[in-house]
Amino acid sequence: MSERVSIQYDMAVVRGFAISALVWGAVGMLVGLLAALQLAFPDLNLPPYLQFGRIRPIHTNAVIFGFTLGVVFAGSYYGVQRLCRVRMFSDSLSRINLWGWNAIIVAAAVTLLLGKSTSKEYAELEWPIDIAIAVVWVVYAINFFGTVARRREKGMYVAIWFWIATILTIAMLHIFNSMALPVSWWKSYSAYAGIHDANIQWWYGHNAVGFLLTTPILGLMYYFLPKQIDRPIFSHRLSIVHFWSLIFIYMWAGPHHLIYSPLPDWAQTFGTAFSVMLILPSWGGMVNGLLTMRGAWDRVRTDPLLKMFAVGITFYGMSTFEGPMMAVKSVNSLSHFTNWTIGHVHSGALGWVALTCFASLYYMIPRLWHTQLYSVRLAEAHFWVATIGLVLYVTSMWISGVTQGLMWRAVNPDGSLTYTFIETVAAIRVYDIIRVCGGALYLSGVVLMFINVWKTIQQGSSAVPEAGPALTPAPVGGGK
Amino acid sequence: MGYDWHRPLESQTLRFTLLTFLAIVVGGLVLLIPPYFMQGTVETIEGVRPYTALELEGRDLYIREGCNNCHSQMIRPFKAETDRYGPFTMAGENVYERPFLYGSRRTGPDLSRVGGNYPDSWHWIHFRRPQDIEPRSNMPSFAHLYRWPLDLSLTQRKLEVLRTLGHPYADEEVRDAVAEAQAQAAVVVARLRDEQGIQVSETEAGSEIVALIAYMQRLGTDVDLPPIESARAGAAPGRP
């Protein structure tokens, strides 16, 4: 532990991903706000290109692959070098990763706007881009594993486990779900038909949530939360138990997206059962995160980063309780196809994923430019508008979803349906408008972050050599 | 009960990675492979046939415009759903669905059995401006589909690719794909003009909207199912 080494970390790739993630986050959320507006005010659809059907996938792709994955790349490049006390395996691969990935996101935005879509959710991109994604992902994998293999630290810290699981799983999901036979450069037909296509798509879709929006974010939590709070993770044993159980159980839960579909009943039952089981490993992560903060809760009052972690982890706990509940058949019969699903996704995405990503960026950016954060008060304001916005968003979608579900199934005493479909559309309009307000607040928080980051970068400099004797890597293990 | 057994694993990258791979691969193997081979996953339904060339182009337009982001094509086996939309979806009906279009959110109603529920003229008016038929609708206008010419340059290739994937197109169907698409389009246009009194310009007659209407009218019509008995009054099936 006491060997004296001088390591020049490669922080250029981290700076690149931090900035690109912020830009894609702002773009993706702006497009999301437009989509929300279009649902409430259909005249805001501007055909042919700017209409809901085309921009909704741009929203999801930009926030998942541009923003979230950008922060994951930044955070894992930042963390893995320090946890391994070695520079990245290859600077060239890092650059290919950075520029290749951002080129993919640009290509995604353009092709989706032009309607080049496979229609499979979160896998809408056509086959040439799919191949590019696979190549860049392999570049990332080689770079990451190469770094881990050359580490100066004996053990791999828990954050690295979660990033390893992410790399393996996403590669597998992406390759198998994207199998298609091309007709032309921008048109292909899925290798699977009907119920088999649905089955593999939701194996992909659910586990994209698991391994793009959960495991790598847990990696960020496990690295940046102990760093920010300056104390070890609550329990190493809990890390072990919840890591292995989470990655094993997650992979079985996909069929909960196909409950009451023609998918064989036994598969649907697996989906429900494993979804319910998922509560425990998910809450293992939540408990480990929250209890890491034990004894330091007073600092939450003054530190906006810790506020973001605390609320983010709490939303992780809430949405991982809600998800299993919605996977129970009787609840799913009400919630499926309604806005409840949208509320659930955003409680995880705006609450857990984005707040954790913001906190990680706020941690990294001053250090990447060798300065202090320009304004803690601005970050504090960001936290509050984001939290209020997300609560408005999530609660309005819950009410909207339950309203829809109940109206769809309502029958008169003589057995006929009580409501026409359009009556259910009209009934939820007010919630669509509240959702717009929530989303706008959330986006305004990102604008505050932009200003803060801009000023921080201006007062700092990237030129200072990234020297790091790294004498105190994040503590491995702690209390038992 | 400690965790010392796990310590060595944390320093063995290769072994750790292999075990991680084992942990993530099991669920997929169990859930994805058996349905392919188990009898009864997909029961063959008589009358289910692949889309015609024109309907296929219409379906690809449905995907291009992202209609699946707001409309499901999967009816669940509940009375409220079958009353509103028709008999629940069966796996055997979906064997030529590449990709599947079940959807995940019903911002608009389910469309899997919309075929034949409305005349072509209804779709003609509705796609151009849905609020002309239902003022409370939040569906966008698709007026550009009436201007953009229907591109049939890939149609034959599409049928070839689908035949490679197992869709039983006859040789003539593939060979004459473009001519057959044009012939079916002419039928739709003639019905609009002659039977339903719609003014269809020559540009519109060759535009994408014709293919999309052909696709709409095909949806759910392969299976001859009993009519819905319990639908009544204002909430008849498919009436938005």
For B14-31, the pLDDT digits (tens) are 999 999 999 999 999 999
| Residue B64, domain member (yes or no) | yes
> Which residues of chain A neighbour B108 with C-beta distances below 8 Å?
421, 425
**What 3-state DSSP class applies to A232?**
coil
Domain membership of residue B40 (yes or no) is no
* Residue B139 within a domain: yes
- Give a yes or no: residue B23 inside a domain: no
Contacts of B223 in chain A (CB under 8 A): none
Q: Which residue has the tokens 């879509």?
A: A117
Confidence class for position B40, pLDDT limits 50, 70, 90: confident
Q: Where are the domains of chain A?
A: 7-464
B2 reaches A (C-beta below 8 A): yes
CB atoms within 10 A of CB A388: 15
- Measured between beta carbons, the chain B residues lying within 8 angstroms of A409 are 78, 80
- Which CATH number characterizes residue B134's domain? 1.10.760.10
Summarize the confidence of residues B48-53 as an average pLDDT. Answer: 96
SS3 state at A45: coil
Nearest-angstrom CA–CA distance, B4 and B146: 70
Inform me whether the pLDDT recorded for B231 exceeds 50: no
Structure tokens at B215: 């696709």
pLDDT at residue A466 tops 70: no
> Best of A111, A195, A237 to disrupt the B interface by mutation (most B CBs within 10 Å)?
A195
Q: Is the pLDDT of residue B233 over 80?
A: no
In chain A, which among 34-53 make CB contacts under 8 A with chain B?
38-40, 42, 45, 47-48, 51-53
User: For residue range A254-294, what is the model confidence (pLDDT) as tens digits?
Assistant: 999 999 999 999 999 999 999 999 999 999 999 999 999 99
Place of tokens 């995907």: B63
The Cα A190–Cα A21 span in angstroms is: 30
- Its ipTM equals 0.94
Asked if residue A4 has pLDDT above 70, the reply is: no
Give CA separation, B155 vs B49, B53, B185, B188, B211, in Å: 18, 7, 14, 18, 12
Average pLDDT, chain A: 95
Instruction: List, for residues A16-57, the tens digit of each pLDDT value.
Output: 999 999 999 999 999 999 999 999 999 999 989 999 999 999
Residue B168 contacts A, CB cutoff 8 Å: no
Confirm if A137 and A166 have CB atoms less than 8 A apart: no
Tell me if B151 is assigned to some domain: yes
pLDDT (tens digit, 9 = 90+) per residue, A363-403?
999 999 999 999 999 999 999 999 999 999 999 999 999 99
Q: What one-letter code names the amino acid at A287?
A: V
Chain B partners of A240 at a C-beta cutoff of 8 Å? 3, 6
Structural domain harbouring B152: 53-224
* Residue B203 located in a structural domain: yes
* Mean pLDDT within B171-185: 97
Q: Which residues, 6 or more positions from A406, have their beta carbon under 8 angstroms from its beta carbon?
A: A334
Q: Do residues B184 and B173 lie in contact, with contact meaning Cβ atoms separated by under 8 Å?
A: no
What is the band of A205 on the pLDDT scale with cuts at 50, 70, 90?
very high
- Residue A476 reports pLDDT greater than 50: no
CA A373/CA A365 separation, integer angstroms: 8
> Does the CA dihedral A56-A59-A61-A63 come out positive or negative?
negative
The whole-number average pLDDT for the span B31-35 is 93
On whether residue B9 sits in a domain, the answer given is no
Say yes or no to pLDDT of B104 above 70: yes
Peptide bond into A48 cis (omega under 30): yes
Under an 8 A CB cutoff, do B16 and A248 touch? no
The Cβ of residue A1 has, within 10 Å, a number of other Cβ atoms equal to: 8
3-state class of A417 per DSSP? strand
Four-way CATH pick for A7-464: 3.40.50.1240, 3.40.50.1370, 3.30.2130.30, 1.20.210.10: 1.20.210.10
Q: Is there a cis peptide before residue B130, judged by omega within 30 degrees of 0?
A: no
Confidence label for A7 from pLDDT (cuts 50, 70 and 90): confident
State the total domains in chain B.
Answer: 1
A237–B138 CB contact, under 8 Å: no
Closest partner residue to A417 (CB to CB) among B2, B84, B162 is B84
Q: Are A244 and B23 inside 8 Å of each other by CB? A: yes
Q: Is the pLDDT of residue A146 over 60?
A: yes
- How many of the other CB atoms lie within 10 Å of CB of A461? 10
From A24-38, A62-76, A426-440, B32-46, the region with the lowest mean pLDDT: B32-46
The answer, yes or no, to whether residue B238 has pLDDT greater than 50, is no
Rounded CA gap, B8 and B3, in Å? 10
Q: Which of residues 204-233 of A touch B (CB under 8 A)?
A: none
Average pLDDT over every residue of B153-179: 97
Do the domain assignments include residue B83?
A: yes
Backbone dihedral angles phi then psi of residue A468, each to the nearest 5 degrees: -155, 100
